[in-house]
Chain A
Amino acid sequence: MSVQAPPAAIPTPSHIEPPNPSHPASTSPLPLPPIFQHDPAPPQLITQGAEALLYRTTYLLPSIQCALKYRPSKPYRHPILGARLTKHRILSEARVLAKCRKEGVPVPAVYGLDEREGWLMIEWIAGEVLRIKLNEWLKQRKDEKVPEERENAPDGGRIHEGLHVLKGLMGRIGSAVGRMHGVGIVHGDLTTSNLMLRPRSNDTAEGGAGDGDGILDGEVILIDFGLASQSTADEDRAVDLYVLERAFGSTHPRAEGMFSELLAAYGKSFKGANIVLKKLEDVRMRGRKRSMLG
C-alpha cells in the first residue's frame, strides 16, 4: 500500500479510460469518482491502496473537511459481481463505522455514501497515522542519541520521560481497541497505518514548540473498517491483537517491547478482555509453529 503516491505514477485501469497513445500510460489520470465530475479543481489524493483510493475533499460547504474513500470497479472482475462486491464493502464499512460511533468507539463519522458509485464519505481526521508518528518519534530519539532504555544514560530523566510518553500512547491504543471489541466489532486489519493520532483540539500548533514530546500526544482514532465484521468471538479478537503486535514488531521493533502496556490497558477495557489475552497466547503459539514450518 503506497502512501502519498503522486497521481501521475498510478496507471489507469484500461476500462475507465482507454490508453491515449500520445501520452505514456503513467500520466493518465486516475478513475475519478463520479461525484467529483463537476468540481472546478480535482480533489487531493491522499493514498492509493490495492482496493481503495482515499481523497481529501469537502462535505456540503467548503468549510467542512471530509475524506472520500473510493472503490473503483476492477476491470478483471465480472461487472455484476464486482458491483455487488463494491456495494457490500461500502455498506459494510459504513454500518460498522456508524455502529462504533454510536457506541462511543473513536472512529470517523459517516457523512454520506453511494454504494453504486462506490464511495463512502467520512469525517476528516486531522493528524497522522500512527506509523508515521512513531517513526518521527523514534527518529528524533535517535538523532538526539537517546540510548536504549537499559543502557546507562547520561540524561536518564529525559529518557524516562520519553518512554513514559510511549507507554501512555500504548495504553490509549489498548483502550481504544478494547472499546471496539467491547461493542462487538473486530477490525480485521489492525496495523499502525489504520490507527490515527489526532491532535487534541486545544493543542498549540503542531511542530511549533519543537521540544518534540508532543509527537505521541493526541487522541487515538481507529480507521479503515473495510475488513471489519461484527463478532464477539475471543478468537477473532485475539487475532486482531496478534496482527497489531506483528505490525508493531515489523515496523517499530523498538516499540514492540511496549506492547505489554497496550495489552494491560486492553485487559481493563471490557468484561472478558482477559479471556482474549489468554487466547492471544494460543494464537501466538500457532503463529510461531507456522513460521518454523514455513
Chain B
Amino acid sequence: MTTTPHLQTFTLEHLPPGYVMHVAVYENVRNAGFLQKQLLDGNEGFEYAFVDAGVVLSTTHLLAAIYRALRDFQSGRMKSRNVHSEVVFSLSSNNNISESFRRFGITPSTTNLIVVKISLPSKQVSRDEVLKHLTEVIEGESVDFCDEVLGGMVDEKRVRKVYKLGGGKSGIVQSKGEGEKRELEVLVLGGMALRGFGG
C-alpha cells in the first residue's frame, strides 16, 4: 500500500499480480449530478466506481466490495456492465443491480464521495493518470481514505436499513461503542458474502 496525498493505491490478498486499486475520497462535492450523468451516458473517460460515502462503514467494507468484484471479474461471473459498476453492485446484499446503484452509487445529492479506479492487467492505469483526471473533474475537497474519515461520513442508520440490520434481537443492539461498530461491519460483510443466497 502506498500513500501520497489524496489517493491510495492498494493490492489485495489472493489476487493474481496486476490487479491494483486506486481509491480517493472527496467531501463537499458540488458536481455529483454531472459525475453521475457521465456514468449514465457511458462516457468512457469516466470508468470509475463512484460510491456514496454515506453507506460505507469503513475501509474494510469498501475493500471487501472491490475484492468481490475482482473475483467475479476473474471468474467470468460479473453481473453488471464492467468491473467498476460491479464494485458498486458488490456492496449489495441482494441481486437487484439497479437498486444497488441507487443505494450505493453516486446520486445528484451526493456530497461525500468515494472514487475507485481499478487497474487490470489488460487495462493498466497509473495513479498519476487517475490523480490528474480526478483533480480536473471532481469539484470537491480531497481527503484521506481512512476509517476515521469514513466514520465521519457514514450514516449508520442508513446502513442498517439497506442491509436489513434493524433493531430487534440483533446482537448489534447489545454491544456498544467500537464493539458495536465492528459488529455492524461484520454483519454487513456477511450480507455481502451471501448476496443472492438469502440471510
Contact = CB atoms under 8 A, between A and B. Distances in A.
B65 to A, nearest CB: 10
A278 to B, nearest CB: 25
A64 B182 CA distance: 13
Contact of A110 (B68, B171, B189): B189
B66 to A, nearest CB: 9
Contacts of A110: 186, 189-190, 193-194
Interface stretch (B7-15, B98-106, B137-145): B7-15
A59 interface: yes
Interface in B1-36: 1, 12-17
B60 interface: yes
Contact of A99 (B12, B63, B193, B199): B199
A128 B156 CA distance: 34
B79 interface: no
B13 A62 contact: yes
Nearest to B14: A35
Interface in A86-101: 91, 94-95, 97-99, 101
Contacts of B13: 39, 57-62
Interface in B149-199: 165, 169-171, 174, 186-187, 189-191, 193-194, 197-199
Interface string A60-85: 11101000000000000000000000
Given A60-B63, A61-B63, A95 B197 contact: yes
Contacts, number: 87
Contacts of A95: 194, 197-199
A103 B175 CA distance: 12
A94 B198 CA distance: 10
A35 to B, nearest CB: 5
Contacts of A183: 169
Contact of A114 (B71, B171, B187): B71
Contacts of B125: none
The dominant DSSP class at the A interface is mixed
Interface of B: 1, 12-17, 60, 63-64, 67-68, 71, 165, 169-171, 174, 186-187, 189-191, 193-194, 197-199
A110 B197 CA distance: 13
Give 9 nearest A-B pairs by CB, closest first: A104-B171, A109-B186, A110-B190, A98-B190, A38-B16, A60-B63, A112-B193, A58-B13, A110-B193
A95 B197 CA distance: 8
A268 interface: no
Contact of A102 (B14, B17, B165): B165
Contacts of A35: 14
Contacts of A59: 13
B194 A101 contact: no
A94 B193 contact: yes
A92 B7 CA distance: 40
Given A60-B67, A102-B187, A102-B199, A38 B193 contact: no
B178 to A, nearest CB: 11
